[in-house]
Amino acid sequence: MRIIYFDIDSLRPDHMSCYGYERKTTPNIDRIAAEGVRFESCYTASSPCVPSRASFMSGRFGVNHGALTHWGPGCEFDYPDGDGHSETVPFFTRYLRNAGYRTVTFSSFGDRHHAWWYFAGWNEVHTHSLKEGNENADEVNAAIIPWLRAHGKEDNYFLHIQYWDPHTMYTYPQEYADQWKDSPVKAFPDEETIQKHRQASFPRSATFLHTASKLPGTMPEQIRSRDDVAHLINGYDGGINYMDKAIGEILQTLEELGIHDDVCFVISADHAESLGEHGVYMEHGNATESVHHIPLIIKAPDITKPGQVVEGFVYNVDVIATITDMVGLPVPSGWDGKSFLPALRSEQWEGREYLVMDHALYVCQRAVRDSKWYFVRTYHTGLYDFPQVSLFDMENDPYQTNNVADQYPEVVKEMDHRLIEWMQQHVYKAGHKIDPLQKVIETGPWKYVTVEGWVQRLRRDGWHDAANRLEAKYGGSGVKSAYGV
């Protein structure tokens, strides 16, 4: 089987035309979706980039692989000690390669995030530039297409292709953003919400949108009004469309080689992106719906049928378990992922009843999601102002604007119970190492922005009251948990 996995950074399903988005952002991905299966409820177990792709490589949740942030305490990738490699928790890439698959990646992720474990098991690693994820899709394709022309007709390979274009800073050609100028923008956030967001003083808020001083024309300086929201959305959608154009070039190459119909396509993302939810713009900094809900499209010859839509909950770790199952390998007992191959075959299948997810880069949170409710427990607020407990009615409040935790104490209790059961299963089992989230709670989620640095920024911009509150909150240390946990 020839398998091509398109791994697209920061991609929201609700900004893809195959998921019903009004703008035709993904015509080439739409073709694949029409010929295969589209999953409505796929979620990354741990966000953002490093935790998610560590799950991709290891088949495990962040709590089990250990890399729950981007560096420092809480980012120690956990793998069995000693010579040789584990058969219980093998690297996904090594597992496929050992079964006779040629495993190839075109990605600068390991270079960008200093992730040694990402390089394990591949036959070939192509970083194709030293831009550390700041390359555009055309630069990626310049390396991939020659490889396909040389090797595409071979059999039994797993080709992983990563595109970064929907991730800031939106450095693709300006015309891909400009094409949407006369196109309507979704109603959220409205003007009243934007003005409320402008009172926030955390990074990536409406007022403090950037830390960089030089911006491309695809991005607004601040979010002052609906016009700025449109500017931002046009930029984000332009990145998606530019990436989709690159996928179209890949599809055209496969057609020229005569193998397009024989390829298994998997399209997904490491995480999605907040575009105003919780007052956060163009960032993936919390364990919320806008960050964790990711696309998943699979077209597999002789397995999937055209136009299928699957509603059940799945994790990103379930995706690699399913690929493993598709090629005839047993899913390793040490992986957290479960195969949903029956769903691809249109057989009887039920998704997971609920999901538990976490984030530990900008805040420390764990969340529980079921068909109606989204529950978030915040253990450390970082530079943000999340409440300790949040509950959202996803049927009536898809943008998570109204915290109803006080109105539904019995639901909060049930979601907390689910979270505790999950922690007992994964954190408290005998002999397990310390929960990596706890390490970040103790040291603070201070990676890209520190308390001291942000206080200086606030004072520079005249936000002295906000600076004083932040200093008082952390006692000048920036280390203590916001909730004393």
Percentages of the chain per state (helix, strand, coil), in multiples of 5:
35, 15, 45
Q: Where in the chain is the domain with CATH 3.40.720.10?
A: 2-352
> Does the predicted TM-score (pTM) go above 0.85?
yes
pLDDT tens-digit map of 333-372: 999 999 999 999 999 999 999 999 999 999 999 999 999 9
Confidence at 480, pLDDT banded by 50, 70, 90:
very low
Give the torsion through C-alpha atoms of 223, 228, 231, 233, to 10 deg.
Answer: 60
Question: Residue 28: what residue type?
Answer: N
Q: Is the pLDDT of residue 27 over 50?
A: yes
Strand order in the sheet with 373-380: 46-47, 355-359, 364-369, 373-380, 389-393
Query: Which tokens in the block code for residue 266?
Result: 């998997």
Confidence at 432, pLDDT banded by 50, 70, 90:
low
Whose structure tokens read 């000048």? Answer: 476
Confidence at 479, pLDDT banded by 50, 70, 90:
very low
Average pLDDT, stretch 146-165?
A: 98
- Distance CA(77)–CA(87), nearest Å, equals 17
Question: Residue 251: what residue type?
Answer: L
pLDDT tens-digit map of 173-196: 999 999 999 999 999 999 999 999
pLDDT of residue 367: 98
**If DSSP codes are grouped into helix, strand and coil, which group holds residue 93?**
helix
- Distance CA(388)–CA(376), nearest Å, equals 8
277-299 core/surface letters (b: 16 or more CB in 10 A; e: else): bbbbbbbbbbbbbbbbbbbbbbb
How much of the chain, in percent, has pLDDT values that exceed 90?
A: 90
Q: For helices 464-474 and 451-460, what crossing angle results, to 10°?
A: 160
Confidence at 252, pLDDT banded by 50, 70, 90:
very high
Query: For the chain, first and last CA: distance in Å?
Result: 49
Average pLDDT, stretch 218-240?
A: 98
pLDDT of residue 184: 95
Q: Is the pLDDT of residue 306 over 60?
A: yes
Average pLDDT, stretch 432-455?
A: 93
pLDDT tens-digit map of 92-111: 999 999 999 999 999 998 88
Query: Which tokens in the block code for residue 108?
Result: 């600068």
Average pLDDT, stretch 143-170?
A: 97
Q: Where in the chain is the domain with CATH 3.30.1120.10?
A: 356-474
* Fold of the 2-352 domain: Alkaline Phosphatase, subunit A (3.40.720)
Confidence at 476, pLDDT banded by 50, 70, 90:
low
Is the alpha carbon torsion for 410, 416, 417, 418 positive or negative?
A: positive
Average pLDDT, stretch 414-442?
A: 90
Stretch among 153-162, 171-180, 413-422, 431-440 having the lowest mean pLDDT: 431-440
pLDDT of residue 280: 98
The HSE-up count of residue 93 (CA atoms within 13 Å, CB side) is 21
Q: Is the pLDDT of residue 484 over 90?
A: no
CATH of 356-474, one of 3.30.1120.10, 3.60.15.10, 1.10.645.10, 3.10.450.50: 3.30.1120.10
pLDDT of residue 163: 97
Among 151-160, 210-219, 429-438, the range with the most confident prediction by mean pLDDT is: 151-160
